[in-house]
Chains A and B, each alone.
Chain A
Amino acid sequence: MTELSKQDALVQYTAQIADNGLIIGHRMSEWCFRAPAIEMEMALMNCALDMIGQARELYSYAAKTQGEGKTEDDFAYLRDERDFRNALLTEIPNGDWGDTIVRLFFMSAYNELFFKALATSTDAELAAIGTKSLKEVTYHLRFSSEWLIRLGDGTEESHTRVQKSIDDLWIFTGELFTMTDAENMLLTDGISVDVTTLKTPWDQKISEVLTRATLTVPTNDWAQLGSKSEGLHTEHFGYIITEMQYLQRRYPGCEW
């Protein structure tokens, strides 16, 4: 393995946090004009814009750290599939309303812990982004928790379906708590977050909300890995960047 410079590690780390926001934000934006009610559509679009906004700040910082004159757009629109290191959970298709709520709930519960920890990073820029993002994520977590409680404790059909969403998405949650080489390297300087320590409080939060929702926490420990460490995605990912990058690929440098 080639030696990772501290600068490269910081670029990778920052871009990887941004990838989570961009990809789940893009997924949620796919609900635009398709949500069951306008109130839910506005809520999801607000969340999506928060996440894409977080991604933009992080990509800009990654580009600045890299020092090659690139911008946030180079990261979002001109990288290939293997370069994206988002957690697999963020790229899973929207499915039904319950699938989308569960994915948002799992991710927001993680992000709340993550950004709170990132706010204490020794890297001032990352700490500032962590502080700002935390306010947004706190709302995402409340919104998705309230919905989960109503779906779980709602009708027999909503209960059965949202339990299936939880069971189906569960195998993608373990990846969130794995460490990359870049994360391990930056940990010694207090720049990165030790995400392995977030697993216990995350489990507690999940258990607390699922209990209120009369739902069952899966006991399966097996985790699907690949994207965060190596950029190995699910079969769904190619379609996301095909749509997202189409315009920049077809008309390079295009602005509107």
Chain B
Amino acid sequence: MTDKANQQEWPLWEVFIRSKAGLDHKHCGSVHASDSEMAMEAARDVYTRRSEGVSIWVVPSNVITASKPEDKESLFEPADDKIYRHPTFYDIPKGAGKM
């Protein structure tokens, strides 16, 4: 066992579940666990007890690189005035049906 097991708090794991109808794994929460196998058990117990899923991913939270809230303006706001990036200016022929 690594030293991590002796720490007071277990590491945090992010849980992603793929539902029966879904094609992609969606983030649904997190669990504390000593290692990946125990995180998998915990994720099963906490997040799939009402038949929510057919597949589980667990990822150590500390390997996720997240954007910083203070970078919000430079990262996301430049896109706000570029409405032409949405395909809303095309007339869709009736024969094409639903896109």
Which residue numbers of A lie inside 8 Å of B, CB to CB? 37-40, 42-43, 46, 142-143, 146, 150, 153-155
Q: How far is the CA of A40 from the CA of B46 in the complex (A)?
A: 9
B33 to chain A, nearest CB (A): 7
Which residue numbers of B lie inside 8 Å of A, CB to CB? 1, 5-6, 10, 31-35, 37-38, 41-42, 45-46, 49
- Decide: B38 and A150 in contact? CB cutoff 8 A: yes
- Decide: A146 and B45 in contact? CB cutoff 8 A: no
With A37-B32, A39-B32 known, 6 other A-B pairs at CB within 8 A are: A146-B38, A150-B5, A150-B34, A150-B38, A155-B1, A155-B6
Interface of A is mostly: helix
- Decide: B45 and A155 in contact? CB cutoff 8 A: no
Which chain A positions have C-beta within 8 A of B5? 150, 154-155
Listed by A's residue number, 29 A-B pairs whose Cβ atoms lie within 8 Å are A37-B10, A37-B32, A38-B46, A39-B31, A39-B32, A39-B33, A39-B42, A39-B45, A39-B46, A40-B42, A42-B42, A42-B45, A42-B46, A42-B49, A43-B41, A43-B42, A43-B45, A46-B45, A142-B41, A143-B41, A146-B38, A146-B41, A150-B1, A150-B34, A150-B35, A150-B38, A154-B5, A155-B1, A155-B6
Which chain A positions have C-beta within 8 A of B6? 155
A53 to chain B, nearest CB (A): 13
Which chain B positions have C-beta within 8 A of A37? 10, 32
Q: How far is the CA of A142 from the CA of B38 in the complex (A)?
A: 10
Which chain B positions have C-beta within 8 A of A42? 42, 45-46, 49
A143 nearest in chain B by CB position: B41
B3 to chain A, nearest CB (A): 11
- Decide: B46 and A154 in contact? CB cutoff 8 A: no
- Decide: A154 and B1 in contact? CB cutoff 8 A: yes
Which chain A positions have C-beta within 8 A of B10? 37
B13 to chain A, nearest CB (A): 10
Of all A-B residue pairs in the complex, the 9 with the closest CB atoms, nearest first, are A39-B42, A43-B45, A42-B45, A42-B46, A39-B31, A46-B45, A154-B1, A143-B41, A154-B5
Which chain B positions have C-beta within 8 A of A43? 41-42, 45
